[in-house]
Amino acid sequence: MMLADVIGTVVSPTEQIPILDARKLLVVRPLTPNGEPTTRAPRVAIDTIGAGVGDRVLVIDEGNSGRQILDAPDGAVKTLVVGFVDQVEVGGRIVYSERGLAE
């Protein structure tokens, strides 16, 4: 899994593989635990938690996990937003807090 910020939305209603129908797609930017950008490419992820632009989230990028979450044994899914990040602590120091408490 990785930390990421939701930075955008994707509208693709007309032409897509069936498993994506009626699912919300988000553009997410992978981050380090400290919240810095990484060299990893932005992902288009399926939202499973009601996330939106500005949220810091937990993203899986692995197909078998995605298929389990969506209960789709043959689904071509890989990247999913699966959680909101409330707080991150590294080496005893809080480096991110959703409530703005980062020291």
Partner 1 sequence: MYLGRVTGRLVATVRYEGLSSVRFLLLEPLDEAGISAGEELVAACALDIGPGDLVHFIDGREAALALPGETFVPIDVTITGFVEQAAIGDTSLSLDGESVR
Binding site for partner 1 (CB under 8 A): 7-17, 20, 25, 27, 29, 41-45, 63, 74-79
Beta carbon of residue 93, minimum distance to partner 1 (angstroms, whole number): 29
**Residue pair 9/26 in contact by the 8 Å Cβ criterion:** yes
* Helix (H/G/I), strand (E/B), else coil: 88: strand
Question: 33 vs 63, which CB is nearer to partner 1?
Answer: 63
Beta carbon of residue 92, minimum distance to partner 1 (angstroms, whole number): 33
Beta carbon of residue 6, minimum distance to partner 1 (angstroms, whole number): 10
- At 43, list the tokens: 């992902």
Q: How far apart are CA 31 and CA 9, in angstroms?
A: 18
Strands 93-97 and 25-31: unpaired
Question: 37 vs 89, which CB is nearer to partner 1?
Answer: 37
**Residue pair 82/69 in contact by the 8 Å Cβ criterion:** yes
Q: How far apart are CA 13 and CA 23, in angstroms?
A: 10
Beta carbon of residue 13, minimum distance to partner 1 (angstroms, whole number): 6
